[in-house]
Structure 1
Amino acid sequence: MDNNNPPEKRITVRPEDAKPQIFRTLRNIDLNLLTIFEAVYVHKGIVNAAKVLNLTPSAISQSIQKLRLIFPDPLFIRKGQGVTPTAYALHLHEYISQGLESILGALDLTGSYDKQRTITIGTPPSIGALVIPIIFQAIKEHAPHLMMRNIPINDAENQLSQFQTDLIIDTNIASSRTLNHHVLYSDRMMLVCRKGHPCLNEPINEAVLQKYEHTLLMLEGQKLSGLRQRVQDLFPERQVSFSSYNVFTIAALIGNSDLLGLMPTRLFKLFCGCWPLVEIDFPPLSSERVDISLYYNKLSLRDPVLENVINVIRQAF
C-alpha cells in the first residue's frame, strides 16, 4: 500500500562520539587553505588573490590543487583572465565565510572589527537597576555593535582575576594588586520609613528611633565597616529584627511595616515608585555616603575594546 504522506523532516543530532572524529578531520586539513579559497573566491582570480595574500600565483595554484584533493570538486573553473566558482564552491563559500567572520570577531585585537562582541558586567541587582540603563545607552551610542550581559556577583575578586567577567560595579570588593577601580558616583545614605509611620509624629532623635525595630542590609567589604560602626554608635541599642542581602526585599518590608532602614538616595528614589517610602530627617546621618565603583582587571587595558568601554562608562557618570 502506497504511503501518500511525505516523509517528515528529521533533525540530525550529532552524537558526542562524533566529536573526536571532527577533530581528526580538521587535523588533516590545513586551515590556511580555507583562507586561500576565500581570497580566490572573493577576488575572482589566482593572481589577485596572490597579491592580497602576498604570495606567488604558483603557491595559490598549489593550494587550490590541495583543496581539490580534499573536496570532491574542481572548485574553480578558468574563465578569461580569472576563474569562476563551481556550484559546490558557492555552497562551500557560505560556510567558510561565516566561520572566518566568527573567528575574526573572536580574535579582534584592534577593536576595529565591526561584529558583535559581548561585554559581561557583574552587579548586585539593586545597583544593576541603577547603572545598567545608563551604561547601555552610553555603549550603544559609542559602540553600537557591542552586546551586553549582566551577571550576578558571587566572588568579585576571583571573577575578575580569572576573567569570568569583564567588569564589576559594586560598593566595594576586596583590594587586589591585579585590579583597578574608579568611583562612578557617591550616594548619600538616608534613614527611611513608610508613609504614616508613628515616628513621624514625634520629635526625631536617637531615643525615639531606637524604640522601633530596624532592618539591616548585609553587605561585604572592609570599606563599609566604618559606616556600620558609625551607625552602631548612633543607635547602640537598636533592635535589628530583619536582615537581608537584598535591598529590594528590605524596601518592600519597610513600605509595609513599622520597620526602619538605611538606603542610598538613588535607590530611595527608585523604590518610591513601588512602595510608600519617606525619608526620616535625621541630620547625624546626612554626611554618611557610599561609593559605587567600577572594577576591572588591570590586564583588561591591553584589550582596546574593553579599554574603550571602561572610558565610555566613566564618562557616562
Structure 2
Amino acid sequence: MSDNNQSDTAITDLHLADKPQIFRTLRNIDLNLLTIFEAVYVHKGIVNAAKILNLTPSAISQSIQKLRSIFPDPLFIRKGQGVTPTTYATHLHEYVSQGLESILGALDLTGSYDKQRTITIGTSPSIGALVIPTIYEAIRTHSPQLLLRNIPVIDAEAQLSQFQTDLIIDNQHYSSRTIQNHLLFSDRIELVCRQHHPSLNAPVTDEKLSRVDHTLLMVEGQNFSSLHQRIQELFPERQISFSSYNIFTIASLIANSDLLGIMPTRFFELFSACWPLKRLPCPSLNSEQVEFSLHYNKLSLRDPVLSNVIDIIRQAF
C-alpha cells in the first residue's frame, strides 16, 4: 500500500515537471479566488458566501468578476435573490472541491480531518518484523484513517532532526537534544541452538561453551558495544566462527548447524516459529537486558495526529 503511494507521487511529480506551464498558470491565479468560488457555489449566493467568509458582498462580486476574466464563462447567473451556476461552473466545482479537500487533509492542524495520512516509522528489518504488527493493529483500532510506511534507519539523528521520518524504533540512545525517546520494552538475552543440538543433553558450562563455535551479531551503537563487552567478559574463551549484520541470517544458520548464538527473547520466540530453534539455559547471560525505544523529534508533539500516534504505540507495548 505504501509502495503504491510512493509510485503515484513519483508519477505526479514527473507529470508536473514535464509541464512547466502548469506552474506559470497557477502563478497567475489567486487561489483565494477558488475558495470564494466554492463558497458562492455551495451557498448559492453572493450574500450567503460573504457571511460565511466574513467578507462584504462587494468583495465577493469583485472576486467573481476576476474569475470571469480568467475562465471563458460567466460561471454564475443571477436567479431571484441568489445565483445559479453554469454548466462550466459545475464542471469546475468538481475539481476545485477535490483540490481544496486534499489541501485541507495535508494541512490538518487539529487532527480532526477524516482523511488518510501517512505515518513513517523507521526500523531495522528485524525490529520491524517484531514491532510493526502490534503497531499496525493498535493504529487500525484507534485511527483507521492513517496509513503506515516502514523505512530503514540509515542515520537516525539526521532522519529525525530533518523530519525525514516521523518515528524510529531501535536499541540506541541519542545525544541530540531535539530527540525524545520512550522505552517500549526490555528483553532478556537468550543463548540459542538448533533442535537436537548436543549441548541440550547436559548443563551449560564455560568449558562446554569454549568448545563450541558461536555466531556474532554485528550492530553499531554504544548500547550494543557495551553489551558485547559484558558478554565477552562472561565468556572470554568464546570462539566466533561466523558474524553477520543480519539476525535473520544468524537464526537460519543456527537452525542448520551446530553453531550457538545470542539474541533477545522476543526474537527467539519470533524465529522459533520459522526455524527449529531451542534455548539453552544460561542464568549469567539471561540476566542481561536489551531495551527497545521509540524516538521522535520533540517538535512532533505539536502535531496532534502524530502525538496521538505516539500515545497509541506506547499504550500498545
TM-score (norm 1): 0.93
Tell me the CA shift for residue 237 of structure 1.
2.0
Partner of residue 194, structure 1: 194
Relative distance call for 1:306 and 1:17 in structure 2 (3 A) is closer
Partner of residue 158, structure 1: 158
CA distances 1:119-145 after superposition (whole Å, capped 9, x unpaired): 000011111112111111111222111
CA distances 1:27-46 after superposition (whole Å, capped 9, x unpaired): 11111000000111111111
Partner of residue 19, structure 2: 18
Relative distance call for 1:16 and 1:229 in structure 2 (3 A) is closer
* 2:224 is the counterpart of 1:224: yes
Question: For 2:216 and 2:269, how far apart are their aligned partners in 1?
Answer: 19
Question: For 2:71 and 2:290, how far apart are their aligned partners in 1?
Answer: 64
Partner of residue 8, structure 1: none
Amino acid at match of 2:296: Y
Tell me the CA shift for residue 18 of structure 1.
2.7
- What is the total number of aligned residue pairs between the two structures? 304
Native 8 Å contact 1:202 1:208 kept in 2: no
DSSP 3-state at the match of 1:175: coil
Amino acid at match of 1:218: M
Write out aligned runs for 1:50-89 (5 A).
50-89=50-89
Write out aligned runs for 1:143-292 (5 A).
143-292=143-292
Greater share of residues in helix: 2
* 2:120 is the counterpart of 1:120: yes
Question: For 2:53 and 2:117, how far apart are their aligned partners in 1?
Answer: 27
Tell me the CA shift for residue 178 of structure 1.
1.0
CA distances 1:86-112 after superposition (whole Å, capped 9, x unpaired): 111111111111111111111111111
DSSP 3-state at the match of 2:83: strand
Question: For 2:299 and 2:280, how far apart are their aligned partners in 1?
Answer: 45
Native 8 Å contact 1:156 1:173 kept in 2: no
Question: For 1:207 and 1:45, how far apart are their aligned partners in 2?
Answer: 90
DSSP 3-state at the match of 1:18: coil
Amino acid at match of 1:96: V
Amino acid at match of 1:252: S
- Show structure 2 runs of 5+ residues with no match: 1-13
TM-score (norm 2): 0.93
Tell me the CA shift for residue 257 of structure 1.
0.5
Relative distance call for 1:82 and 1:269 in structure 2 (3 A) is same
Native 8 Å contact 2:16 2:22 kept in 1: no
Tell me the CA shift for residue 15 of structure 1.
8.0
- Report sequence identity in percent: 74
* 2:52 is the counterpart of 1:41: no
CA distances 1:184-236 after superposition (whole Å, capped 9, x unpaired): 00111100000111122233101101111111111122122221111101111
